[in-house]
Structure 1
Amino acid sequence: MPEKDSPRLQRAEAKRDPTEWHGHRIVTETDLGAVFEAEDDARPHRVSARRVRHGIVLVLLLGLLAAAVYAALALARGDISLGALGASDASPAPTSNCPAGPFDYQDPSAITVNVYNSTPIDGLAGTAAEQLRGRAFAVKDIGNLEVGPTGMTAIIVSGEGGRANAFTVQRTIPESIYVADEREDKSVDVILGSSYKDLVPPEAVDTTPAGLTCAPEEGAATPTPTAP
């Protein structure tokens, strides 16, 4: 066996190589420098990616803040309403409760009534308004409204404070039904249907205290204003 391949010669060379010890590689300062240099080269890329993510998050937060400020300003100006869209001041969104009363018959001259026509019959609201004025009711608005039911006589609409007034109007209009809404005043809406013909004769009006007559729950009317 050649001298250079002998185990004794290999051990002698290993002793002369400072990077090996008992056949194992010793990590040197040069090796560590190469590793950390590679990590240093990769660090700018990680920092750049982190900055990009932070920038995206900041842009999203600013967008949400701007949207919140815009919505707040729109609410303050009245451009956006949290109530039922499409409802007018005359006819807020109705509710389904039917007040049992009893309610006393009121003086018609103290009751403000708005009269609306839900049919294609021309002049129906004007005719009914004149009839109500003839009974001393204070008619304010006259116009058109759309409602769910068809073929009914009339729908009487009021808020909680106007229930007694609504009772008085209902006793004046035959076969009318009551729908409650959330208005705060005591005004009453009369929404006429195609079955409306006339008021109850003055001598036949029942002034006995009682409750209101409402539509069945599944058929409750939902007035929706339209252009006159």
Structure 2
Amino acid sequence: MGGKYRITGDKYPRMRPSRRRGRLVVVVVACGAVLGVAGWGTLQLIDVFTGGGGTASAAGSKTCSVKASPAATVPPAALPKPAQITVNVFNATTRSGLAKTTADELRKRGFKIGEVGNASAQYDKKVPGTGVLLGPASSLNTSLPVLATQLSTAERRTDAARTGTAIDLILGNGFQALTSQADATRALTALTAPRPEATTKKDC
């Protein structure tokens, strides 16, 4: 090209749009920096007004740490002593004299003995295990656990329609002997001993 549009030397005309594009990039970067600083400042304000004791979540809630405090001693439930429990001993097996010998052993261990004899038709020769402990509903967490220390493998049952406080020990086909007196005594001691109970505390 010639005339006034002739290009000479090593200088070229610059395109104006490139300068505008550079300014736009600078503006975008500056806005991002401002928004980042503003967001950080907002989180700091949230931490100040919430007491700084927890970590703010995305929903604005605060997490709390849970610490276990030393175990507290829980007194045992009021359980009756063997001398306060009346036991009826019934034999549901074909072995004669089993109810009497078992009742005599329970008497030596401090229990009161009520009726002794053969089991009713409902249970006679129908108890495959070692035995069944049957009592009123009120005995579930009182006298039943105490008697169960003497025959730990026996099944425990309650009858809501049953009256009185006596418990039936119905001996089954699997019965050989009561739990040894030493083991029964340890089980009874553990049953009536205070139990530790751990408590938790929230630190927010």
TM-score when normalising by structure 2: 0.49
Structure showing greater relative contact order (alpha-carbon pairs closer than 8 Å, 6 or more residues apart): 2
Q: Which has the higher strand share?
A: 2
Q: Which has the higher helix share?
A: 1
TM-score when normalising by structure 1: 0.44
